Structure 1
Amino acid sequence: MIPESVALAELERDALTEIVNIGVSRAASNLRKMIGDQVTLSVPAIDVVSQRRAARLISEREVAELVAVRQDFAGPFSGRALLIFPESNSLELVRAVTGDALNAQEVVDMEQEALTETGNVILNSCLATMANMLKRSLTMTIPEVLRGNGATLFEIDDASAADGLVLFLYIDFAVRNRDIRGYIAMIMDIPSLEVLKELLDEFIARVVGTDG
């Protein structure tokens, strides 16, 4: 069960979806410069779920091994952001970033660097936009690449993981003529999610104003 204090009301979910969509549209613009081709990113769904549920949601959709770019963030709300791809998509992404100029071995050799750069662009755009629109600041660590299944990425290994909640965002990636899809997950503890909820309420009050 998701605690009442962090469950998102419909208006809060709408506000967060709008904020994150602005973030991913900025990411798409930056990726387009990197790739030199049309990139569209959208976030059709956002939910707060347990780490176990997040791992299960991804495992139900993706049978292959997963690759993730991880970046930790700290500020009024803190946590860990993950940009997650099926492994097959990650190599396709490298081909997109490098303009199909590499042979198969070179694609594998370049994968880590290309994923780190892509993750940096997307996660930074999302987190920086969230911080900016909520009128707060966040610091972010250097991204790193992880591999494994849903349980590995969400660190489901002992009872302590039961505390963690995940702000789970499905992303539709479309790079012209390429089949690439991904997910963003932000793992936060209850105090951080409570702060995020308060900041969303402040954001809604600013946007709606006193006559809303």
Structure 2
Amino acid sequence: MMDPHVTELEKDIIKEILNIGLARAADSFAAIAKDKVLLKVPDVQLLEVKDLLSLVAKYEDTHIIIQSDIKGDFNGSTLMLFSEDHVALLSEVCLSMLDVRKGELSVMQESLLLEISNIITGALVTQLANILKSNIYGSPPKAPKSHIATSLKDILVQHPLFQPLVFTVITKFQHNSKDVELPLLLFFDTTTLLKILDIIRSFNYDKNNMFENT
């Protein structure tokens, strides 16, 4: 398997591209959350598949996971991880629900989580497509009912040797001075990483010129 070498500068450029996409996503999310939303991108990580699955598995028993696949020129997924506390606060703010019961999601609550994932992934994918001049789109989000490895099989099984490029993004949602952090995992397969690197390397690393059309 090709081991893609990503320089620190290239990592910075990928993070800058994601920051632009996430800023747009935050604005879109804030419109339905009726409050301030902050998104930040930490370090880019290259992980083995088993490490990715163990990272996701840590959240499986305590969080509702909403998955949206990225298709077209790139192959990837976003996973948004909602704890019961997140669901309760978002239900209160966005659906005006009081005394939200923890446990089973109502149809309205699941629709809300799917819509939030759709908004954030859609805004991010649109910006990535614009900046990287690529034809990509997000598939409708879903709440996987099975083990997360099963729901990710389109990426993991069809590309059993790939080394995913994983971004762990913390979405900080502020409401009435309460901070709620929503983990978001974004990852691409190795082929996509190589495509992104080819595109970035075709730019002349002048960030001002690179992002002027976004």
What is the TM-score when the length of structure 2 is the normalising length? 0.78
1:69 and 1:115 in contact (8 A); partners too: yes
Determine whether 1:198 maps to 2:198: yes
Q: CA 1:63/1:75 → structure 2, altered by over 3 Å: closer, same or farther?
A: closer
Name the residue aligned to 1:14.
12
2:121 and 2:138 in contact (8 A); partners too: no
For residues 103-182 of structure 1, the aligned pairs below 5 Å read: 103-105=99-101, 108-109=105-106, 110-147=108-145, 151-152=149-150, 154-155=152-153, 162-176=160-174, 177-182=178-183
Determine whether 1:185 maps to 2:183: no
Q: Distance in 2 between matches of 1:81 and 1:96?
A: 28
2:68 and 2:78 in contact (8 A); partners too: yes
Q: Distance in 1 between matches of 2:83 and 2:153?
A: 18
Q: CA 1:145/1:152 → structure 2, altered by over 3 Å: closer, same or farther?
A: same
Shift of 1:147: 4.8
Q: Distance in 2 between matches of 1:173 and 1:20?
A: 13
Q: CA 1:111/1:165 → structure 2, altered by over 3 Å: closer, same or farther?
A: farther
Query: Which AA in structure 2 matches 1:197?
Result: L
Q: Distance in 1 between matches of 2:115 and 2:166?
A: 22
1:52 and 1:154 in contact (8 A); partners too: no
1:72 and 1:141 in contact (8 A); partners too: yes
Name the residue aligned to 2:80.
84
Q: Distance in 2 between matches of 1:183 and 1:144?
A: 15
How many correspondences in the alignment?
203
1:68 and 1:82 in contact (8 A); partners too: no
Shift of 1:35: 0.7
Determine whether 1:75 maps to 2:76: no
Q: CA 1:163/1:67 → structure 2, altered by over 3 Å: closer, same or farther?
A: farther
Q: Which runs of 5+ in 2 are unaligned?
A: 210-214
Shift of 1:26: 0.9
Q: Distance in 2 between matches of 1:65 and 1:174?
A: 19
2:47 and 2:165 in contact (8 A); partners too: yes
Query: Which AA in structure 2 matches 1:181?
Result: L
* 1:120 counterpart SS class: helix
1:40 and 1:173 in contact (8 A); partners too: yes
Q: Distance in 1 between matches of 2:97 and 2:77?
A: 30
User: Percent of aligned positions with the same letter in both sequences?
Assistant: 20
* 1:164 counterpart SS class: coil
Shift of 1:199: 1.2
Q: Distance in 1 between matches of 2:93 and 2:204?
A: 37
* 1:34 counterpart SS class: helix
What is the TM-score when the length of structure 1 is the normalising length? 0.79
Q: CA 1:184/1:154 → structure 2, altered by over 3 Å: closer, same or farther?
A: same
* 1:181 counterpart SS class: strand
